[in-house]
Structure 1
Amino acid sequence: MDFTIRKKLPHIAESIYPVMTALAIKHNAINLAQGFPGYGVDEELMQLVNKYMLLGKNQYAPMMGVPELRSHLADKMEELYGYVYDPNTEICVTAGATQGIFTAVSTIIHKGDEVIIIDPAFESYEPVIKFNGGKVKRSPLKPVTFEIDWEDIQSKITKKTRMLIVNTPQNPTGKVFTIEDIQKLRKIVANTNIIILSDEVYEHIVFDGNKHESIAKYPDLAERSFIVYSLGKTYHITGWRMGYVCAPKELMKEFVCAHQYQVYSVPTPLQYAISEYILKKEKYLELPQFFQEKRDFFLKCIEGSKFIPAPCSGSYFQLLNYSAITQENDVDFAKRLTVENKVASIPISLFYENKRQDNMLRFCFAKDLEDLERGAEKLHAF
């Protein structure tokens, strides 16, 4: 039967992630493209999942998440950032951070509403805004330094602006918000009805003495914000699809209305396992050092190559400039690098509104040191 389908997202192309991953598999390339860990999960955590399965925790969880996990998440938020969230009404466990983002935007954005995002941006933001009838307005980071142009953001605010999406540490650039950034954000949204969606999935992956400036540290911002976190990123379990969202009661009430019809709840034994494992605070407090060692190792390995690293203060991605090698567009070069040199990366033009060419590729260093070393060796071929 021939179906004619009116596309809801006619201008949104297929995600580059499965494309590059499939290419890496086909050509047996080292996959430094997609952002998932290249090492195993802590056996203790896996045993906890088995434990709770055997204890019969296999039926639907409460819609917002098992109480024990939400309580521990509230404790963590207060301890790290000083903001007290009610675990019963202000924290919801989600099927990954991406679902949290989708649900938060769907909760707020109606047809004609404007949403400001920072360019380059994680690829999930624009489609969900358009899916809900919203209009995307992008504010580009400053070249080279990736500093935020707060004056430009201010100039884009209109009476139709309903949401501002921020991301720290930022994907793909590794930009980390400073206290000065936060103060400028506070000034911009004061006396407006703008809702903030703060994507903080890399909260524990910051380097060089930087600190994560969570929106939750600032009550005037937290009171107007959905803050999205990733348990998958924190505990190296991206395939479990687990995250959570914190928001004030009034916003969370509406969030849950959408959440219940999208996923209803998140796998029960996984939640119980995390609720016990999260008490081992060292597992996330040691992440900055863990990932900085990987970043520094990767940078050391590419020294002497023609790839030039960009500043990276957070996340587990490193941008490398290839201008000294070729002027071909980044999509073509990324594919050639995968096919001919057997190392996969992500072209960052696809994170930009107008597919801007900065001659940069994004490499994920959340991998075994052996893979990072082998990948770097292949980059020295140029």
Structure 2
Amino acid sequence: MLSSKLPDVGVSIFSRMTLLAQQTGALNLAQGFPDYDPPLVLREALARHALASGSHQYAPMPGLPRLRAAIAAQVSRLQPDAPAPDPDTEVTITAGATEALYGVLAAVVRPGDEVIILEPAYDLYGPAVRLQGGVPRYVRLPAPQFRPDWDEVRKALSPRTRLIMVNSPHNPSGAVFGAADWEALAALTEGTDILVLSDEVYEHLVFDGVLPGSARRHPGLRARSFVLSSFGKTYHATGWKVGYCLAPPALSAELRRVHQFVTFAVSTPTQHALADVLEADPTDAHARGLAGFYQAKRDEFAARLADTGWGLLPVPGGYFQLASYAALSTLPDLAFAEELARQWGVAVVPVSAFYHDGYNAGLVRFCFAKGPAMLHLAGERLARPPLVPGQ
């Protein structure tokens, strides 16, 4: 008889709510993906390389040298206060940030090691730790700001703490670490062997004129941090599944030991296409323009839900909106999300799915990475009274 390693884990809430959207015809504001295409220049680059000879065999295991060099150059331009990463030893191309995250955990977490997870957290974090024999130690982020209480994080540390996982901008809340947060994290880990996994896939989506931070930009964190990024988020191409990890040479070497036996190499024509667009954008206009692009969507979505009974929480970054539905229903969040899809025609994610214990904060998550027509129609549906109020 097979004994499951994850007996309590079923189909992800994202797949579940997307399926419900398909079954009911609801607008899918649940799963975090745009409903518009990547930039035309990127699609054209992929078409060229998909047809070109010489682009159809394995890429080097760490990634195409030209793509790693282009990433290093961009990081150097966007983070002038930090040393440029060495493209040969500090940049690794992965099959999305998901593979990078799993690879880091597989590389450094041993049975019995403890990993600090700040929640609500992306639902991959805990299971991926457990699959390595690690022990998740959860610290709750206080609502509505969802910024860490670093005293609570300190209390969770033990001699067995191997890694602290952080995520800024944060999924699901959009919270963004400030300088004081990076300082606090550095102070907690100073003089220890604790490593940091910094999930920065929404790195360019920081709003209201705030400059993006990074674990790489803090001298006390740089030597102990794996920093994850995602081309899927940056170029509206989540289905391409290309990400990368920036880490010091010794840490990158450990990640690559795992990566070579999991994926080995990411799609060669896709890597060439991404290198093309990075090399052709020396001012990083695309990356620098994302904050304004998504801030406009945030503001449009919020304006459509003003004075409708939805309690919108602040969104400093990312492309998700958390909302309280306390004025609309007394149902638990999962039941309310199902009601919302069936009766209002909008699919969302209940925030309890981001807690290991299913904690119900009475919040749901909307994805506003959608085109104008979708946001307009969603706003109309969400502004009307529920057809069958949950009580």
TM-score class, shorter-chain normalisation, is over 0.9
One-letter code aligned to 1:328: L
Q: Which residue of 1 aligns with 2:278?
A: 278
CA contact under 8 A between 2:115 and 2:136: conserved in structure 1?
Answer: yes
* 1:102 partner amino acid: Y
Paired with 1:363 and 1:85, the residues of 2 have a C-alpha distance of 35
Determine the C-alpha separation between the residues in 2 that align with 1:362 and 1:345: 6
In structure 2, distance between residues paired with 1:163 and 1:299: 36
The amino acid of 1:42's aligned partner reads P
Partner AA of 2:350 in structure 1? P
**Distance (Å, rounded) in 1 between the aligned partners of 2:94 and 2:278:** 16
1:237 and 2:245 equivalent?
Answer: no
1:86, distance to aligned residue in structure 2 (A): 1.0
**1:106-158 deviations in Å (ceiling 9; x for gaps):** 10001000000101111110010000000000111112222211000001111
Measured in 2, the distance between the counterparts of 1:182 and 1:219 equals 10
In structure 1, the residue matched to 2:336 is 333
Q: How does 1:1-382 map to 2 (within 5 A)?
A: 4-56=1-53, 57-81=55-79, 82-279=82-279, 280=281, 281-382=284-385
Structure 1 stretches of at least 4 aligned residues deviating more than 6 Å after TM superposition: none
| Post-superposition CA distance 1:88-123 (Å, at most 9, x none) | 111100000100100001100010000001011111
SS of the residue corresponding to residue 220 of structure 2 reads: helix
Distance across 1 between alignment mates of 2:145 and 2:297: 22
| 2: CA distance, partners of 1:128 / 1:369 | 36
Cα distance in 2, alignment partners of residues 26 and 339 from structure 1: 9
- For the 8 Å contact 2:112–2:134, the answer to whether it is kept is yes
Q: Deviation digits for residues 219-239 of structure 1, max 9, x if unmatched?
A: 321110110000000000000
SS at match of 1:223: helix
Aligned residue type for 2:353? L
Kindly provide the amino acid, as one letter, of the partner of residue 204 in structure 2: H
SS at match of 2:117: strand
Give the Å deviation of 1:330: 0.6
CA-to-aligned-CA distance 1:58-110 (integer Å, 9 cap, x gap): 11000010000000111111221223211111110000010010000110001
Question: In 2, are the aligned partners of 1:95 and 1:243 still within 8 Å (CA)?
Answer: yes
Q: Structure 2 length as normaliser, TM-score? A: 0.95
Work out the number of aligned pairs and report it. Answer: 379
- Sequence identity of aligned pairs in percent? 38
On the 8 A contact 1:77/1:83 being kept in 2, the answer is no
Tell me how far apart the structure 1 counterparts of residues 121 and 83 of structure 2 sit (CA, whole Å): 27
- Worse overlay, 62-71 or 136-145: 136-145
Whole-Å separation in 1 of the counterparts to 2:271 and 2:12: 29
SS of aligned partner of 1:93: strand
8 Å Cα contact 2:100-2:228 kept in structure 1: yes
Question: 1:15-61 CA distances to partner (integer Å, 9 max, x unpaired)?
Answer: 00111001101111111110000112222211111211232211100
Q: Which amino acid aligns with 2:112?
A: G
Q: TM-score under structure 1 normalisation? A: 0.98
Structure 1 equivalent of residue 389 of structure 2: none
Amino acid at match of 1:101: L
| Alpha-carbon separation, structure 2, partners of 1:301 and 1:381 | 11
User: Residue 304 of structure 2 contacts residue 383 of structure 2 at CA under 8 Å; is this kept in 1?
Assistant: no
Checking the alignment, whether the CA contact within 8 Å between 1:106 and 1:258 is kept in structure 2 is yes
TM-superposed CA distance for 1:175, in Å, is 0.6
Q: Which runs of 5+ in 1 are unaligned?
A: none
Q: Supply the distance in 2 between the matched residues of 1:104 and 1:247 (Cα, whole angstroms).
A: 10
Whichever residue aligns with residue 203 of structure 1, its letter is E
Give, in whole Å, the separation in 1 of the partners of 2:182 and 2:19: 39
How large is the Cα RMSD of the aligned pairs?
A: 0.9
Letter in 2 for 1:260: Q
Deviation at 1:12, TM superposition (A): 2.0
1:350 shift after superposition: 1.0
1:247 positional shift: 0.6
Indicate conservation of the 8 Å contact 1:316/1:364, yes or no: yes
1:240 aligned partner, one-letter code? W
1:194-232 alpha-carbon deviations (Å, 9 max, x no partner) = 010000000000111222111111132111011000000
Instruction: Give, in whole Å, the separation in 1 of the partners of 2:6 and 2:143.
Output: 30
CA distance in structure 1 between the partners assigned to 2:341 and 2:15 by the alignment: 13
Alignment partners' CA distance in 2, 1:88 and 1:197: 20
